[in-house]
Amino acid sequence: MKLELHKITVRDVQWGTETCVREGVLYVDRQRAVDFVAEEKRFARVDLELARPGESVRIIPVKDAVEPRVKMDGKGYFPGFLAPMDRCGEGRTLVLDGAAVLTCGPIVAFQEGFVDMSGPGAVYTPFSETQNIVLVAEPVRDLEQHQYEQILREAGLRLAVHLAQACLGSPADAIETYEKGSACEENEKFPALPKVIYVCMNITQGLLHDTYLYGSDLRPALPTLLHPNEVLDGAMVSGNCVSACDKNTTWHHVHNPVVAALYARHGKELNFLGVVPTQESTVLDGKIRASKMNLTIAQQLGADGVIISEEGYGNPDTDLCLNAKNFERAGIKSVVISDEAAGTDGASQSLADATPEMTAFISTGNVNEMLVVPPMDRVIGWPESIAHLSGGAAESLRADGSMLVEMQAIIASTAEIGYNRVGCEWI
Amino acid sequence: MTREIEKAAGIPVVQIATIVPIMLTVGANRIVPGVAIPHPVGAPDLGADGDRATRRELVLRAFRAMQTEISEQTVFER
């Protein structure tokens, strides 16, 4: 399977009379893009805002982030959502590298977050460094929560594809190629290298906590095996309102650093056999079933080692422990990547569950760490919603516009696929 | 809380919880497995009668667990 990412570097975003990219500047035809999104009649109001790195801007509450992308054969993106149902991970994809669509609207559920484009909060989120096109949308009255989540999720995807589509034909600044054969072929090429798979745990709990694979809800699904190219090319879409700090946005899935790092070492240090998107069920049998099926996939492929990343915290800590326990007991080395909920002083037990087999743990930070973020000149969205967000409280928002919050209120501050700057300090 | 009530007041506590491994980790002694995280003590998908029967069975099992002498952490399965 061979995938080419044709990356156009975006260093700035501006309003323009037509949507296009020229010399690193993405120009957005605001009215046309607004009209396009407003075709969804369940929105009462649609607007767009721009937010650039370094500006004194706060965006709250943010639900998802999406990188503008489109297949260069004109067939859309995100199969099952905005492309005909087909396999992704092959062919050529246009990427507006450095741009992001952020979706923002009145709060859907308590687990959304905020993005600061400057100041102390900015360093904790990757979206303070992207050129952001912020979709601000309000639903019609009395729209049910799950329908609101759905239309906002899909609107973010649509806007991202719309922007990329308008830039088709512009030359790429760089072309990245990802190519890897079947497990059998790679095993023949690299018989001496350790075989590694990546188990990517996903929030699959219903009630606005869902992840989609090829347009299909992963909650009632079973663990499956993907070629890494599929992950890097839009197979997975976030639809969840899990705690802002450790949800994998749709942007994160196509940038998955574990996939990228394993790919970079493939054929040199290890043999990367594939990605297993797996579930975090709300029932114990579901957790056991998924973890055992992950083991079967690993054993059938002859894996020597597994990297496991969690999404969310709390009950998914049990899925994490079950996965680690199963692999280790079967003689397969496992490394887990997770954040910690260790209390505001960092002194509490950091995971809800524990198991002695979990011996290799990479921490992406403590979600309860407190910080003060100063007032911003401009706030996009609904600043008072901090009172209802995980990591916020009624008294978080102060009269001057500053906020006292936990890290977990910042989008992707402790992302457990590792796309952040927080971790342990080596002493 | 479960452990503190037992320790400080000497009152036996039955913990109904969905994710049993977490209860074992935190040291609960009498554990009754619940149904699902969004609805630990009910089964709305079984309809009103099924839901009621599930609730009743869980509570009766919890009473039974409370009266059972134990010497180690015990999970009271159905």
Which ipTM value was assigned to this complex?
0.86
Residue A417 in any domain: the answer is no
pLDDT the model gives residue A71: 98
Q: Give yes or no for A322 touching B (CB within 8 A).
A: yes
pLDDT the model gives residue A409: 96
- Helices and strands (DSSP H and E) totals, chain A: 8, 23
How far is Cα B28 from Cα B23, in angstroms, rounded to an integer? 5
pLDDT digits (tens, 9 = 90+) for A178-203: 999 999 999 999 999 999 999 999 99
Q: Give yes or no for A348 touching B (CB within 8 A).
A: no
Does the pLDDT at position B54 exceed 80?
yes
What is the tally of structural domains in chain B? 1
What is the tally of structural domains in chain A? 1
Residue A287 in any domain: the answer is yes
pLDDT the model gives residue A114: 97
Q: Give yes or no for B78 touching A (CB within 8 A).
A: no
- Neighboring chain B residues of A279 at a CB cutoff of 8 Å: none
- Neighboring chain B residues of A354 at a CB cutoff of 8 Å: 25
Chain A to chain B Cβ contacts (< 8 Å)? 37
pLDDT the model gives residue A294: 98
Name the DSSP letter for residue A126: G
pTM more than 0.90: yes
Percent of chain B whose predicted confidence (pLDDT) is above 70: 100
pLDDT the model gives residue A162: 98
Q: Give yes or no for A145 touching B (CB within 8 A).
A: no
pLDDT the model gives residue A426: 63
Residue A426 in any domain: the answer is no
Residue A420 in any domain: the answer is no
- Neighboring chain B residues of A207 at a CB cutoff of 8 Å: 38
Query: What is the domain range of residue A366?
Result: 2-409
Interface-testing mutation among A353, A357, A358, with chain B (most B C-beta atoms within 10 A): A353
pLDDT the model gives residue A422: 77
Catalytic: which of A88, A104, A241, A321? A241
- State phi, psi for A397 to the nearest 5 degrees: -80, 120
Q: Give yes or no for B21 touching A (CB within 8 A).
A: yes
Residue A414 in any domain: the answer is no
Separation of CA A178 from chain center? 20
B37/A282 touch (CB, cutoff 8 Å), yes or no: yes
Task: State which residues of chain A have pLDDT below 50.
Answer: none
| Catalytic status, residue A241 | yes
- Neighboring chain A residues of B37 at a CB cutoff of 8 Å: 205, 282-283, 315
pLDDT the model gives residue B4: 87
The answer to whether the beta carbons of residues A211 and A236 sit under 8 Å apart is yes
Q: What is the average pLDDT value for chain B, to the nearest integer? A: 94
Q: Give yes or no for B2 touching A (CB within 8 A).
A: no
Place of tokens 């062919």: A91
Query: What is the domain range of residue B14?
Result: 2-75
Name the DSSP letter for residue A315: T
How far B34 CA sits from the closest chain A CA (Å)? 9
Residue A423 in any domain: the answer is no
pLDDT the model gives residue A240: 83
Residue A421 in any domain: the answer is no
Residue A169 in any domain: the answer is yes
- Neighboring chain B residues of A204 at a CB cutoff of 8 Å: none
How far is Cα A312 from Cα A166, in angstroms, rounded to an integer? 35
Q: Alpha-carbon Rg of chain B, whole angstroms?
A: 13
